Structure formats: C-alpha cells, structure tokens
Structure 1
Amino acid sequence: MNFFSSDFKLGILGGGQLGKMLLYETRKFDIQTYVLDPSDEAPCAIGCNKFYQGSLTDFDTVYEFGKKVDVLTFEIEMVNIEALERLEQEGVKVYPSPTTLKQIQNKGFQKDFYTRHNIPTAPYKRFATLAELKGHLESDRDVTFPFIWKSAEFGYDGNGVKVIRKAADLDGLPDAECISEEMIAFKNELAVIVSRSASGAIETYPVVEMEFHPEANQVEYVICPARIPEEISQKARQVALEVSRRFDHVGLLAVEMFQTQDDEILVNEVAPRPHNSGHYSIEASYTSQFENHIRAILDLPLGNTNSKLAGIMVNLVGAEGFSGNVKYENIEQILDIPGVTPHIYGKKQTRPFRKMGHVTIVNEDMAKARSIAETVKNTIKVVSE
C-alpha cells in the first residue's frame, strides 16, 4: 500500500500532545491524518488533515470515525473498545489491537495478566469498590499499611494513584474498582520502550531512569541512558521484551519498572502508545519513538533506536497557585543554552501540575546534561497571565 502523498488515511483517537508529536512524523512523510478528540482546542486540531470533535468513549462516535480511515491508532487508552472490535471485524486495521488494549486498559486486568504469565510484579489485591477495600482494612485481612492505592481505570499523570499510610488517607477517593499494591523498596524507577511492527520486527530503546515529583507523583526528569550497571540494563530490556511478546502488541509499548534493592526487575505498568518516558528521543535518538510508532503500525522497517547523545527530558507543568491563560516565564533564557529544545504542547489554559510541555537537553556528557536540566527546571516557569 502507498502511504505517502496518497489517499491513505491514518486515524488517531485522541488529540493531545502525544498525537501532536505523532503528527510531526506524519507531516514529514506526507501521510493523511484524521483525529478525533472531545475538545475543539486539542493540540492536534491545527496539525492534522481533518479534525473531528467527539467523545472517545461513545460507541457510535468512535465507530463512525473509524470507518473513515484505513488504519486506526490511539494516543490515549480511554477509548471505546467495543467500537474498535467492530471496526476490526469489518476490516479496519486497529493497532494496537482491541485484544491488547483490553488487557491493559484496566489496571486490575493488567496485574492479573502479569501473574498468569509469570512476569515479576509487586504483590497486589483487587477490589470491586473502595468500600470493599475499607472492609478488608477494618477486618485486618490481606492489606497492611502502607500500600499504594490505584484506580483500576481512568488514571493518568499522577491521578488515580495514592500512597495510603492510614485508613483516613482513603477518604475522598472514588468508590470504584481499585487495587492495593505492596510498596516496593527500590533503587530506581526505569522504563523501556519496545517498538514492534505488524510483521513482528522488534526493537527496544535504551533503558531510561525516571525521577518523580514528590507531591504530584509525576515524572520530573527522564534520563537516557539510565545510570545503572550494564547487567541491570540488559535484564530490564529482557523483561520488557517478554512483556511485549506476551501482549503481542503492534506499535509502541512503554514498560515501566522498578529496580529493587536486590537488583530484581519488577514491572509496574505499561502503556500501549508513545509515552512520556520516550520524549527525549525526538532530539537524542536516531529515530524518535513517534516515528517508530508510525513505522510499526504501517509495517515499515523500524528505525534505529540508539541514542546519538545523552538525553534528558524535563516536564513543563503548571506551577502551583496558577490557573488561567498560560504564560511561559524565562523561556528566552533556556533557548540561549546550547542543546536545549523546548516543546510547547499548545494548551491555552494552565493549572497546577498540568502537563504543558517538555524540554529536551542533549549533551555528549551525561553529568553536564543533568546539570543543564536542573538549570532549565529552575529557570522556566509555567504561570498564568
């Protein structure tokens, strides 16, 4: 099939920043793109060939949109799976498949999947409601403090995850399906992105190290390559490849992991799409994660996943205490630093901890890159007018 400068149409469910960065690559290759998103101010709206406003969870909306395209992918997991299944039955290629998405969309199903396939993960318990979890705590069964509470569905960007140190910490959480997960003593939080094509070709990106904001539970820095011994890096990549093989996905799979104090690798969770942990690859890699997602779902040869330079990504999030029309303070100062590239997502309204963009720092020296990243983090501010 001719994808380039042709009548071929690629559909993307979700028009946020991940979709916008996918459009960098479709524009480069002159691939037609259709995008569906609930917001008329979605970052993708100005970059695709055709933009449709509508719900990603409504069967009819997703189904009618999918019939307009030849291949359908997504940049967010919160989409209507039944519509994807119907489209797939009718001949639309959906990547990753609804079967893969079903195993991942619900975090309880995802944890069960790891258990069935002997993939190492933190011990956990599933609960149909928050009330059921509270009942277990009151009867001293199965769950002990402290633990991690996770919403089974609809969690993102630090939402839907909370450290529970006492029963009162559960107050105010949604009374919905959830899991309790044993807290793991770990040295590092790591991630590996696996790219797998429709014909089964597979590549992994280098292991990255993630540093989190202590209050927002969001990634502040992504460091590539991770500052870990080579044997740990190889172990993490092998675990990621096994997870990829078991999910049998097409496209990207971001595998988040813990390196324990005993140097074991435990899988935390996965995302079947481009991921925050791979944004550094736009500047630092021979082939960005976004280009390789396009290559994989169109069954084109996968690109080189190696890094050209050390790369660090700094997330730009809304500053605490600011909501309203966004303003980026001191952006000119960071533009004056060699090897620094800001990416502004196009969201007009800021609020505390909302992801508004990211900055990539590349350098031949990792220590220098990390130092510059700290300077960038302390210089640019996302505030409101």
Structure 2
Amino acid sequence: MNFFSSDFKLGILGGGQLGKMMLYETRKLDIFTKVLEASEDAPSSIACNQFVKGNILDFDTVYNFGKTVDILTIEIENVNLSALEKLEDEGKKVYPPTSALRIIHNKATQKLFYVDNNIPTADFHRFAYTSEIKDSIENGGLSFPFVWKCAQFGYDGQGVKVVRNFSDLEGLPNVECIAEDMVPFKNELAVIVARSSNGEVKTYPVVEMEFHPEANQVEYVICPARIPDAVAQKAQKVALQVADKIKHVGLLAVEMFQTNEDEILVNEVAPRPHNSGHYSIEASYTNQFEQHIRAILGLPLGDTKSKVAGIMVNLVGAEGYTGNVVYQNMEDILKLEGVTPHIYGKKETRPFRKMGHVTIVNKDIDKAREIAEQVKNTIKVISE
C-alpha cells in the first residue's frame, strides 16, 4: 500500500497533545490524517488534514468515522471498543487491536491478565464498588495502607489515591475499583515497546520517573534510568513479555516498580505514545511518535537508541490558577543549554492540567538533571 502523498487515510481517535505530536510525523511523510475529537479547540485540530467533531465514546460516531479511513489508531484508550470490534469484523485494520484494548482499558482486567500470564505485579483486591472496601477491611480481607484505583477512566493522577485510614475513603467515587498492595520500591521505571503489524519488535531504553507527591503526576522522566544494567535488562524483558502476551501493535508503554530487592513489578500499561517517551523527540534517533506510525503501517522500525541523555519536565497548571493560560519566564528557560519547550495549545489552564513539556538534552545525565531542576523552578504556568 502506498501511504505517502496518496489517497491513503489514517484515522486517529482523540485529538489531544499526543495526537498533535503524532501529526508532526505524518506531516513529515505527507500521510493524510483524519482526527475525531469532541472539542473543536483540541490541540490536534491545527495539524491534521481533516478534523471531525464527535464523541469518541459514541458507537455510531466511531463506527461511521472508521468507515471513512484505511487504518484506524488511537491517541487515548478511552474510546468505544464495541464500534472498533464491529469495524474489525468488517475487515478494517485497527491498531492497537481491540483485543489488546479490552485488556488494558480496565485496570482490574489488566491486573487479572498479569496474574493469568505470570507477569509480575503487586497483589491486589478487586471490588465492584468502592463501598465494598470498608466491609473487606472490617472483616480482615484487606488492611491499610493500600492504593485505590478506579478501574476505568483514570488518567494523569486522577482515579488513584493512597488510602491509609478510613477517612481517606471518604469522597471517592463509588465505582468498580482495585485496592493494590503498597509496594516498597527504589524507583518507578518505564519501558516503551514498539511492536509492528508485521511482527518486528524493539524496545526503548529504560527510563526513570519522578512523581509529584500530591498530584501523582510524572514531574521528570530521566533517560537513561540511573540503574544497574542487570535491572535494566530485567525491565526490558518483562516489558517484552507484556507486549507479546497482549499481542499489541503500535507502542506500548509499560510502567514498573523496581523493588528494594531489585525485582520488577508491572504497575500498568498504556497502549499508545506516552508521557514517559516525550524525551525521545530530541534525544532519540527515532522518536516515539514516528515509531508508532511506522509500527501501525508495518514499516521498518527505527533506531530506538538515544543520541544523548535526555530529561523531560512536565509543564502543568500551577495551583491556584484557572483561566486563560500564561507561560511565565519562557525567555529565561530558552537561554539554558539544550532546552526545548513543547506547548500543547490548550488555551485554558487549571491546577495540575498538562499544558506542555520541556526536554533537556546533554551528554552528561547529571548536568541534564541539574538544568531540568532549574527549568522546573523557573517556568510557571499561570492564568491572566
């Protein structure tokens, strides 16, 4: 099939910043793109060839959209899976396949899949409703502390809470959820696996993630992770096992814990380009967004090695500010060595909303981390 400067149409469900960065790559290759998203102001609306306003959770909207493209992919996993299944049944190519998305989109189903396939993960309990947790604790089935996670629709730190006592359960939505054992760990790691529709597989280097203690969002992604080679190899092996068992096509980001005993436990996965791979735009020979396009089109996968050490800093809305966004001190960070900001195009900021990221590259990972700290302390995402 001729993808370039042709009548071929790639459909993308979701129009957020991940889609926008994916579209940078399709524009380089002159691949026609069509995006479905509910908001006309979505970041992807400025970069695609054709923008369709519509609800990606609505069956008819997704089904009818899918009929108009040659291959369909996603930039967010919360889409109408029944519509995708019908499209697949009718011969439409959907990547990642709906069978993989069915496993991933529900955290309880995801955790059960790990257990069934001997993939190491933290112990957990599954509940149909959050209200059942109190009875379980009182009857000895569950004990404090644990991590509460809603089974569906959680993102960017939403739908996750550390529960240390009964009062922490107050105000949580009464939904399907899991209660996961607290894992003592040294590091939170991630590995991105690229798995092509023709079977080719590659992994990116292991990255280290540092989280904001309150928002439960990634603040820094550090590549390469500052861990022993043996631990890195173990992490990549586990990530490859997950991708193989799920039979994924495209990019799969596997988030993990490195325990105090240097064991690797899978936390959760994302079936698409991911925040933990943003560093690759500046630091890698083939960035994650180009790699996703290569994988779903069955093109040869690119080189996943890094050209230089890279650190990504998330730009999120500052606490206490809601409204039209202002990026304060942008000129100051642009003066720093190896710094590249990426602004997503969201006009409205609110506390902890992802508004952009900054990549810092340097031959010396410690120097890059030092500059990243300076960036974090300098730029402010506020409102008018």
The TM-score bracket by the shorter chain reads over 0.9
Q: Distance in 1 between matches of 2:31 and 2:262?
A: 44
Which amino acid in the other structure matches residue 371 of structure 1? Answer: E
- TM (normalized to structure 2)? 0.99
**Residue in 2 aligned with 1:173?**
172
- Aligned residue for 1:292, secondary structure, equals helix
Which amino acid in the other structure matches residue 10 of structure 1? Answer: L
**Residue in 2 aligned with 1:74?**
74
- Aligned residue for 1:176, secondary structure, equals coil
**Residue in 2 aligned with 1:278?**
277
Q: Distance in 1 between matches of 2:260 and 2:208?
A: 15
**Residue in 2 aligned with 1:202?**
201
- CA offset at residue 172 of structure 1? 0.8
Is 1:266–2:265 an aligned residue pair? yes
Q: Distance in 2 between matches of 1:243 and 1:249?
A: 9
**Residue in 1 aligned with 2:60?**
60
Q: Distance in 1 between matches of 2:142 and 2:4?
A: 54
Q: Distance in 2 between matches of 1:238 and 1:169?
A: 36
Output one character per residue of 1:27-49: Cα deviation in whole Å (capped at 9) or x when no partner: 00000000011111100001101
Output one character per residue of 1:203-231: Cα deviation in whole Å (capped at 9) or x when no partner: 00000000000000000000000000000
Q: Distance in 2 between matches of 1:138 and 1:76?
A: 38
Output one character per residue of 1:320-366: Cα deviation in whole Å (capped at 9) or x when no partner: 00000000000011111121000000000000000000000000001
Is 1:104–2:104 an aligned residue pair? yes
Which amino acid in the other structure matches residue 8 of structure 1? Answer: F
Which amino acid in the other structure matches residue 195 of structure 1? Answer: A
- CA offset at residue 139 of structure 1? 2.1
Output one character per residue of 1:124-146: Cα deviation in whole Å (capped at 9) or x when no partner: 00000011122212322x21100
Q: Distance in 2 between matches of 1:27 and 1:381?
A: 31
- Aligned residue for 1:237, secondary structure, equals helix
Q: Distance in 1 between matches of 2:29 and 2:334?
A: 28
Which amino acid in the other structure matches residue 342 of structure 1? Answer: P
**Residue in 2 aligned with 1:332?**
331
Q: Distance in 1 between matches of 2:38 and 2:260?
A: 43
Q: Distance in 2 between matches of 1:255 and 1:143?
A: 27
**Residue in 2 aligned with 1:10?**
10
**Residue in 1 aligned with 2:367?**
368
How large is the RMSD of aligned CA atoms in angstroms?
Answer: 0.5
Which amino acid in the other structure matches residue 35 of structure 1? Answer: V
Output one character per residue of 1:69-110: Cα deviation in whole Å (capped at 9) or x when no partner: 000000111000000001111121000000000000000000
**Residue in 2 aligned with 1:160?**
159
- Aligned residue for 1:373, secondary structure, equals helix
- Aligned residue for 2:5, secondary structure, equals coil
**Runs of 4+, deviation exceeding 3 Å:** none
Q: Distance in 2 between matches of 1:138 and 1:16?
A: 43
Q: Distance in 2 between matches of 1:312 and 1:220?
A: 10
Q: Distance in 1 between matches of 2:5 and 2:292?
A: 19
Q: Distance in 2 between matches of 1:143 and 1:62?
A: 40
**Residue in 1 aligned with 2:132?**
132
Structure 2 gaps, min length 5: none
- Aligned residue for 1:130, secondary structure, equals coil
- CA offset at residue 163 of structure 1? 0.1
**Residue in 1 aligned with 2:378?**
379
Is 1:220–2:199 an aligned residue pair? no
**Residue in 2 aligned with 1:239?**
238
Q: Distance in 2 between matches of 1:185 and 1:337?
A: 36
Q: Distance in 1 between matches of 2:95 and 2:55?
A: 19
- TM (normalized to structure 1)? 0.99
Which amino acid in the other structure matches residue 383 of structure 1? Answer: I
Q: Distance in 1 between matches of 2:19 and 2:115?
A: 32
Output one character per residue of 1:246-271: Cα deviation in whole Å (capped at 9) or x when no partner: 01100000000000000000000000
Q: What is the percentage of aligned positions where both structures have the same residue? A: 71
- Aligned residue for 1:368, secondary structure, equals helix
- Aligned residue for 1:334, secondary structure, equals helix
Which amino acid in the other structure matches residue 259 of structure 1? Answer: Q
- Aligned residue for 1:244, secondary structure, equals helix
Q: Distance in 1 between matches of 2:40 and 2:199?
A: 37
Q: Distance in 2 between matches of 1:338 and 1:87?
A: 48
Which amino acid in the other structure matches residue 36 of structure 1? Answer: L
- CA offset at residue 307 of structure 1? 0.1
Output one character per residue of 1:135-184: Cα deviation in whole Å (capped at 9) or x when no partner: 212322x2110000000000000000000000111111111100000000
Which amino acid in the other structure matches residue 274 of structure 2? Answer: H
**Residue in 2 aligned with 1:305?**
304
Which amino acid in the other structure matches residue 74 of structure 2? Answer: F
